[in-house]
Amino acid sequence: MSYKTCLFDMDGTVLDTVADLADAVNHTLTGYGYPARSVQQVKDATGNGARELIAHSLHDGEATPDFENILAEYKAWYADHTCVETAPYPGIPALLEKLRRDGVQVAIVSNKPDKAAKILAERFFPGIPTFGETADIPRKPAPDMVYHAAKKLGASLDGTVYIGDSEVDVQTARNAGVDLVAVSWGFRGRERLKIAGAERIADTVAELYDLVK
């Protein structure tokens, strides 16, 4: 099927953000006297937004003393350090531009805080509408962010495909009632995506283009 609208997840799909996420998590945790996390542990905890990332990075989760202060400091520090090592995956900027030249509407839908998501998108993908987590729209895997993006774009869900790299993205597409193409180069990998129920998985940017066009 040739889609008219492509909605992309951000972390692990269009941007490799894990180094900066890990630095932000560990800067905050160690500042409060908690042990640092490995890059793989941060990868595994990423996908459900900042609150879940920090909760999964602490032994006692949200029951941790000063949890809200830790979360607020993480968000503030990360917002100021989003582009230290973060970069697009190879071939992604060209893919997005190619899709747009083909007449496909392209947008990014992320559980990253809205401010951070927009900062990154403007730097690496200028002009592409980007929707991050806000207080008034439930984060993925709830379908609301997909619905919100489609409404802003004036897009029909029938012609929309959602593209992501995690179990959260698989469930988001399912909840929203839109088609899914998963990518294996992100934070979870092909086997975990298959276990989550992804039926179409792209291993390269060229394969992704073929699957959506």
- Which amino acids are annotated catalytic? 9
Cβ partners under 8 Å of residue 10, min gap 6? 17, 108, 109, 110, 112, 117, 120, 121, 130, 132
Distances (CA, A) of 194 to 41, 90, 99, 181, 204: 21, 23, 26, 11, 16
Measure the CA–CA gap between 171 and 173, rounded to whole angstroms: 5
Rama region for 47: left / alpha / beta (φ>0; ψ in -120 to 50; rest): left
Residues belonging to the chain: 213
